[in-house]
Chains A and B, each alone.
Chain A
Amino acid sequence: MLRAPKFELATPTSLGEAIALLAEAGPSGMVIAGGTDLMPNLKHELFTPSLVVSLARIPELHGIRRATDGSLVIGAMSSLESIAENALVREQAPALAQAASLIAGPQLRSMGTLGGNVLLDTRCQWYNQTYFWREALGFCLKKDGSKYHVVEGGAKCVAAASNDSAPALMTLDAELGFESAAGRRSVRIEEFWLADGIFNKRHAQGEILVELTIPKTPAGHRGAYGKLRERGSIDFPLLGVAARLDVDDQGTVSRADLVVTALAARPHRVTKAGELLVGTRPGDPQGELAAEFRARLAELARLAHKQCHPLENIPGDAAWRKAMVPVYVRRTFEAAARRAGPVHHL
């Protein structure tokens, strides 16, 4: 039995009320959205807030709509299930819909929210454990201690970014809209991450993620998401791959993007994707993909393999995770080219 430490719960019905509660509580206040990340972390005593503020009853945080300029505006409290199933998201942001469909299992997707997944705490097998377990090993760098477990002689926390939505949102140029007592702030998701496993985001105390905006994607936009895990459900990613291919009227790639995650404290963009794939023609989505496209893709897969250095920070053999990088890069881009996906081996 794992019980959460004691805290008070507030259930505000407006954003202003929630912001005021958090401002007053300061560092002892925390936000709960779907609770699927926070509740286990509270039970593990990774956080011990005195006040938890629920966002469940704030109407302005819900809903998915298309804005007048064609961009997609997603309320941060939208459930992962609704992201996976929503027709607008599937059409305009297929990689995001696919990523959401592979997060955890059905119950966790109906509870968990997109905002919560973006703000997911980093994960590590030395960190996501009970207080008793962590204490027995002298705690760790990220919480309660100064011991480094992952690599001998290491000095920096390397807990892994484990949110499947993040790489997909990066390929989609998403913007995060926050509100706090200091006012409104908008940040491109690209600039949101820090390479620090202890806290990997530029997210200030008391700031509430209100909505995510995804700029209109062109008609020929294709995207896919690939996820490596040991079981076909429930697990966090051992590797996540988001692929973007925009194909123009002539069938030529006009934009390509590759972001991988679960390998380090922040999602990683493989910048050569555009250089290698733009200008190629993937070929018939129904038939065999063009030889040149496949050759460039193989080159990109090799490059991604060279750039990725998974550590023994999350479950799953690091050598296996590294060996699967080129496989997943290739399969995920092939799925995007074919308007298929998601990619997983189970």
Chain B
Amino acid sequence: MRLLRLRVNGDVVPVAAPSHWTLLEVLRYRLGLTGSKQGCDKGDCGACTVLLDKKPVLSCLTLAALAEGHEVTTIEGLTPAHLRAGGRGADPIQDAFDRCGALQCGFCQPGMMLSARALLAKNPRPTRPEIQAALAGNLCRCTGYTQILEAVELAVAESGGAAVQPADGRRGARGAS
């Protein structure tokens, strides 16, 4: 057992965990942050994606102790960070995923949104192929990729001020149908 000092979603969190535990295990079973999903648990699916210093990593393959000294961002931290930065409502990527219906079962969604967040931090105006490449490590087994790509494009377009309407049949604005 070791005492770790992790920085998670802006907070310093002291937490005790065995050396062989992964960051995913500590997030889910010590800190109660179950937004990061335990999918394949061996690096194939991307459901456990979190950001480590703004870069997407797989928390199922990251030893918790090796996350010390880095800033960990989970899906639970996106909207609070957006609000702290003076934004309103949900993080624009979460909002766009919501409005585009970019989910079916929802299991891949936290990982998808964090990969998208990392992309936009690095490249605020990505093209469709760049979005596809950035999300290539996240599997959606419902195969709902089209709406996911559209959601990222919507977030990109709105961040540039040019609002685009989601395709027909989906809600045009939060809460409206």
Contacts and interface: CB of A to CB of B under 8 A. Distances in A.
Nearest to A2: B41
Interface in B44-67: 44, 46, 49, 55-58, 60-63, 65-66
Nearest to A346: B136
> Could you tell me the dominant secondary structure of chain A's interface residues?
loop
User: What class of interface size applies to chain B in its complex with A?
Assistant: 20 to 34
Contact of B137 (A1, A3, A6, A104): A104
A232 interface: yes
B94 interface: no
Interface in B112-140: 115, 133-134, 136-139
Interface string A33-52: 00110011011100000001
Contacts of B25: 3
Interface string A204-248: 000000000000000000000000000011100000000000000
A10 to B, nearest CB: 9
A82 B61 CA distance: 19
Contact of B136 (A39, A40, A42, A105): A105
A32 B63 contact: yes
A106 interface: yes
Interface stretch (B14-22, B81-89, B100-108, B169-177): B14-22
B43 interface: yes
A278 B160 CA distance: 52
A5 interface: yes
A71 interface: no
Contacts of A307: none
A36 B63 CA distance: 11
A11 B43 contact: no
A233 B42 CA distance: 15
Counting chain A CB atoms within 10 Å of each CB, the highest count among B2, B25, B43 belongs to B43
30 contacts: A3-B25, A4-B20, A4-B21, A5-B20, A9-B65, A11-B66, A32-B63, A32-B66, A35-B61, A35-B63, A36-B61, A39-B42, A39-B60, A39-B61, A40-B43, A52-B19, A52-B63, A104-B137, A105-B137, A105-B138, A106-B115, A106-B136, A107-B58, A110-B57, A111-B62, A233-B136, A233-B137, A234-B44, A234-B137, A234-B139
Interface of B: 2, 18-22, 25, 38, 40-44, 46, 49, 55-58, 60-63, 65-66, 115, 133-134, 136-139
Given A39-B60, A107-B56, A234-B44, 5 more contacts: A5-B20, A39-B42, A54-B65, A56-B66, A106-B115
Interface of A: 1-9, 11, 32, 35-36, 39-40, 42-44, 52, 54, 56, 104-108, 110-111, 232-234
